Amino acid sequence: MSSRGPIDQQTWGVPGGDTRVESGVDTRAIFGQTMFLVAITAGFAALGAYVGQHFTSGTSLLAYIAAFGIMLGMSFARKAQNGSLGMGLLFAFGLLLGIAVAPTIAHYANSPSGSTVLWQAATLTGLFIAGFGCVGYATKRDLSKAMRIAMFGLLGLIIVGFLSIFISIPSFNMIWSIVGLAIFSVFTMYDFQRIHRAGEADVIMLAMSIFLDVFNVFLMMLSLLGGGGRR
């Protein structure tokens, strides 16, 4: 992921609703470009989930590892200012994450009322991202401190998830999902707030961050609605 630094107050729009920041970058254009890339990446993830529906758990793990490698590659592509390479890596990233969760999606799809659960999770994810995204985009409060707290919260959640492999925790899936959604609500607000200080060179990495918000929120919604396993 790209670095998450303090909000530069000089990049906010001027009074009167003008969305053009001081550097001359149109915030609405950055927003449109970012969300367009998020939508395409989500489409590649859906394609990956379809292609990998019969893959084994071993293939799923390899896809996760490859996706992590691509995420690192995207940082290098940004430093090299290679937008075409970065965009291609972004779409490959979405495809691999789709393959990685394909067995989980297939499990829900093949269960009773599974298609209903999937559509409900997708709808709630859209509402979640739209709601918290709007809050983050509109607020002028610096969310960087809240984001740092959320990062520690995510680290703690990962540690607890690892411990749950060895220790039985009652209602763990529900607790995991609710806490996770609280954490990603902060991430979502922060990522949408970053649009105000982003330039065209930041669009691809910003799209990746928002896509990861969507991806994780969707899996947590699935866990809550379907009572299935963790992500």
Res 36 pLDDT > 80: yes
Instruction: Return the pLDDT at 75.
Output: 80
Give, as one character, the DSSP assignment of residue 143.
-
Using CA atoms in the order 61, 105, 46, 55, what is the torsion angle rounded to 10 degrees?
50
Specify whether the CB–CB gap between 207 and 151 falls below 8 A: no
Where residue 65 falls among pLDDT bands split at 50, 70, 90? Answer: very high
Res 84 pLDDT > 90: no
Q: If we measure between CA atoms, which residue out of 42, 92, 80 comes closest to residue 216?
A: 42
Where residue 25 falls among pLDDT bands split at 50, 70, 90? Answer: low
CB atoms near residue 60 (< 10 Å) = 17
CB contact set of 52 (below 8 Å; sequence gap of 6+): 59, 60, 63, 98, 99, 100, 102, 103
Where residue 26 falls among pLDDT bands split at 50, 70, 90? Answer: confident
Instruction: Return the pLDDT at 137.
Output: 95
pTM of the model: 0.84
Which of 4-8, 74-78, 98-102, 174-178 is predicted with the least confidence, judged by mean pLDDT? 4-8
Give the Cα separation of 97 and 114 in Å (integer). Answer: 20
Instruction: Return the pLDDT at 110.
Output: 86
Q: If we measure between CA atoms, which residue out of 212, 154, 196 comes closest to residue 2?
A: 212
Instruction: Summarize pLDDT for 211-227 with one digit per residue, the tens.
Output: 999 999 999 999 998 76
Structure tokens at 123: 């709808």
Structure tokens at 206: 């910003």
Q: Which amino acid is it at 215?
A: F
Give the chain's length. Answer: 231
Longest dimension (CA), the chain: 57
* β-strand partners of 20: 26
Structure tokens at 147: 């984001």
Q: What are phi and psi of 141, to 5 degrees?
A: -75, 135
Instruction: Return the pLDDT at 80.
Output: 66
Instruction: Return the pLDDT at 109.
Output: 87
User: Given CA atoms 114, 116, 117, 122 in this order, what sign does their dihedral have?
Assistant: positive
Q: What angle in degrees, to the nearest 10, is found between the helix axes of 83-109 and 114-138?
A: 140
User: Mean pLDDT over all residues of the chain?
Assistant: 85
Where residue 4 falls among pLDDT bands split at 50, 70, 90? Answer: very low
Where residue 200 falls among pLDDT bands split at 50, 70, 90? Answer: confident
* β-strand partners of 26: 20
Where residue 12 falls among pLDDT bands split at 50, 70, 90? Answer: very low
Using CA atoms in the order 32, 36, 38, 44, what is the torsion angle rounded to 10 degrees?
180
Structure tokens at 72: 């690192």
Structure tokens at 102: 């394909």
